[in-house]
Amino acid sequence: MSLLHINGLQVHFQTEAGLVRAVDGVDLELESGRTLGIVGESGCGKSVTMLSVMRLIQPPGRIMAGSILFEGRDLLALSREEMRQVRGGGIGMVFQDPMTSLNPVLSVGEQIAEAIEIHKRTSRRRAWSMAVEAMERVSIPDAADRAGDYPHQFSGGMRQRIMIAMAIACKPRLLIADEPTTALDVTVQAQILNLLRDLQAENKMSIIVITHDLRVAAQLCHDLAVFYAGRVMERGNAEQILSNPGHPYTIALRNSIPGFSSSGERLQTIGGNPPNLIDKISGCVFHPRCPTAHSSCSDLSPVERFVSDGRSLACDYHALGEM
Amino acid sequence: MYRFIIRRVLSAIPLLIAITLVSFAIMQMAPGDFLTQMSLNPQISPQLIEKLRVTYGLDQPVHIRYLRWLWGVVRLDFGYSFAYHMPVIKLIAQRAAATLLLGLSSTIFAWGIAVPLGILAAVHRNSWIDRLTSILAFMGISVPTAFLALLAVFAAARTGWLPIGGMHHMSYEFMAPWQQFLDLLRHLILPTLVLGIGMLAGLMRQVRSNLLETLRSDYVTAARAKGVSERVAVYRHAFGNAINPLITIFGYYIGDLLSGAALVEIVMAWPGLGRLMLDALSGKDIYLVMGSLVISSIMLIGGNLLADILLAYSDPRIRYD
């Protein structure tokens, strides 16, 4: 049984401009102990999908359909109280911007201890010392002294470590990291990625990393899911996808990133803009920008098909050929 | 922190001097003085008026009078009221108690209702309770306080349920202490409501918009992701960050305690500082005006200082060193 199994997830936002289908039929699967990377452009539904796993979609957003099985239980069917136990207990989450994701008026120790008090039902003092331990685990120097400090007294990288300490304080089986390094300096980014890798090895937890940076995904992830316009374009083994992408969008995405395309060549861009999710696109969502689109692509919506073990993609004319 | 407070108190001194200097100068620009009215009375001889003018020191040039007054204030002598034949400080103390009582009761009333209603409106955004409180708030903001006071007096006169004005019943002196207390409360109800409603409306909108902003913030989402209950997310995380602007507003209200009620006091015959000030101003009872002004300025400066100190306690990012 997989740790997390998302099936046919649909999340809609009722806005004044119209209905936004932010997530439109997403399937994902994650085995325990593995790292899944979710890549895609801004607004492609990566974060909304993960917030749905936490059931933290705020109105006007709503989860319309689908199931999210975590350790075999459908999170969408849980009561509020049961869901609170999952949040921070079974699943921890790290957010993108450590500058705004920590409460400025509470000390970092209090904020970590708060998570522990909820899930471990221990005394204040015990929770505090566990919070200090969590800070030590993410390599914050002088953790015991610094637990009483406030977020503004830490650098960006240290704050992200604190966010991670908060998320892993209760030893979750799954850690969701939403663009954990985007707001950080490049040198600090590498440190945070290493930290996540170490923590995974230590605690045997699974990680989902949301990123728009394919290099981050390449460094960290076993598996990869490529999102576009609220759907999964391609998913499977990260190494295979990056070395031999099958979906035209994955190919285009890879070619637009320095370091993946061969050196000396001009970087390629993807023509056009990501679609407005209010308008319904007939056929494949990528066909208006697809360099290899066929005439039928505008009529028929491709179904996700499995091409090899664990590898699947949603394109009728993918580059891998029939296997 | 202590150094900050001392510095602020010291810096208030030149500010106060500037305020009094300007006010004193403006008062001099209007023609005539307290004795001008008397000179219209044929029964009083011009010689007597001249004598009085010398006695009151009004024959001296402006700067001498200002410096004399200032020197008096330094020795905590605020001068003498021409109209009441009483030391200004004593007169103000009598009236300030009534104004402070009204100010405090309406402040407690306004904050006690505005904060919970504002929270409710923000948490249940766009629900019927949010819409209802919004409509009421806009009504409260749009109706002028003086008009509301008139309405209240009218309603009290028609129904006879509550006294139409004043602070005590005529037979107050003959009541038992507990009756006196109840009588005071009955007299306090309408002015408190009138004064409080004006404050409440704006304050409630402020609470609502501050909280809406912090409810949307990343750290509240992050707190929810830790599994905190909705109560903790709203009160500890969102409201804990929404109170800073409120503290600043609170400081202004303290500064307004003595002068903010003037209109209501005048309409509802509340024996407070507001009426005293107005009479003193039109009667050119200059030292009484200056005395009230100094007290009000000190309240304003003190209120702001208090707000700044409270801010430092509520927000660790604010430190005055």
User: What are the tens digits of pLDDT across the range B170-210?
Assistant: 777 888 888 888 888 888 999 999 999 988 998 999 999 99
Going through chain A in order, the beta strands assigned E by DSSP cover 4-15, 18-30, 35-39, 61-70, 73-74, 91-94, 174-178, 206-211, 223-228, 231-237, 305-308, 311-313
| The pLDDT of residue B256 | 79
Residue A49's nearest CA partner among A75, A78, A72, A85 is A75
Confidence of residue A319 (pLDDT cuts 50, 70, 90): low
Give chain A positions within 8 Å (CB) of B224. 54, 56, 87
Tokens of B163: 């006294």
Extended beta strands in A200-264, E state: 206-211, 223-228, 231-237
Q: Considering only residues 222 to 261 of chain B, which have any Cβ-Cβ distance to chain A shorter than 8 Å?
A: 222-229, 232, 236-237, 240-241
Task: Tell me: pLDDT of A164 over 70.
Answer: yes
| Neighbour-count burial for A194-203, b at 16+ CB within 10 Å, e otherwise | ebbeebbeee
Chain B positions touching A51 (Cβ under 8 A) are 221
Q: Any long-range contacts for A303-310 (C-beta under 8 Å, 24+ apart)?
A: A304/A27, A304/A232, A307/A246, A308/A236, A310/A223, A310/A236, A310/A237
- 8 Å CB contact between A147 and A132: yes
Among A251, A161, A137, A180, which Cα is nearest to A149's? A161
What single letter denotes the amino acid at residue A164?
I
Helix (H) / strand (E) element for B216: namely: none
Residue B172 CA to residue B194 CA, distance in Å, equals 24
Q: Are strands A35-39 and A206-211 parallel, antiparallel or unpaired?
A: parallel
Rounded CA gap, B187 and B210, in Å? Answer: 35
Q: What residues does each domain of chain A span? A: 4-90+170-313, 99-169
**What is the per-residue pLDDT for A271?**
77
Chain B residues with CB inside 8 Å of A70's CB? none
Q: Tell me which of A33-47, A207-221, A273-287 is least confident.
A: A273-287
Are B219 and A86 in contact (CB < 8 Å)? no
Q: Whole-angstrom Cα distance, residue B262 to residue B277?
A: 8
Give Cβ neighbours of residue B84 (< 8 Å, ≥ 6 apart): B91, B285, B288
Give the span between the Cα atoms of A57 and A51, in whole angstroms: 6
* Contact status of B214 with chain A (Cβ, < 8 Å): no
**pLDDT reading at A95 higher than 80:** yes
pLDDT at A323 over 70: no
Residue B140: strand, helix, or coil: helix
**Chain B nearest-CA residue for A149:** B316
pLDDT at A263: 65
Q: Is A152's CB within 8 Å of B226's CB? A: no
Distance separating alpha carbons of residues B5 and B3, to the nearest angstrom: 5
Residue B185 to residue B194: CA distance in whole angstroms: 15
Residue B210, CB half-sphere, CA atoms under 13 Å: how many?
25
**Which comes out higher in pLDDT, residue A284 or B226?**
B226
* pLDDT value, residue A262: 63
In order of their start, the domains of chain B are 2-87 (no CATH), 89-314 (1.10.3720.10)
Contact assignment for A103 to B219 by CB distance below 8 Å: yes
Q: CB distance from B221 to chain A under 8 Å? A: yes
Residue A96 near residue A111, CB atoms below 8 Å: no
Facing residue for B223 by CB, picked from A97, A103, A105: A103
Task: With CB atoms and an 8 Å threshold, state whether A105 touches B225.
Answer: no
Angstrom distance (rounded) from CA A48 to CA A230:
9
Query: Residue A196 corresponds to which tokens in the numbers above?
Result: 């996540």
Q: Do A103 and B229 touch (CB under 8 A)?
A: no
**Rounded to an integer, what is the distance from CA B215 to the centroid of its chain?**
32
> pLDDT value at position B321?
65
What is the per-residue pLDDT for A123? 87
Beta bridge partners of A68: A6
CATH of A4-90+170-313, one of 3.40.50.300, 3.40.710.10, 3.60.150.10, 3.40.50.1970: 3.40.50.300
**Yes or no, beta carbons of B316 and A152 under 8 Å apart:** yes
Tell me which residues of chain B have a pLDDT lower than 50: none
Contact status of B218 with chain A (Cβ, < 8 Å): yes
Say whether residue A78 is in contact with chain B using an 8 A CB cutoff: no
Q: Which of A55, A101, A166, A210 would best serve as a mutation to test chain B binding (most B beta carbons within 10 A)?
A: A101
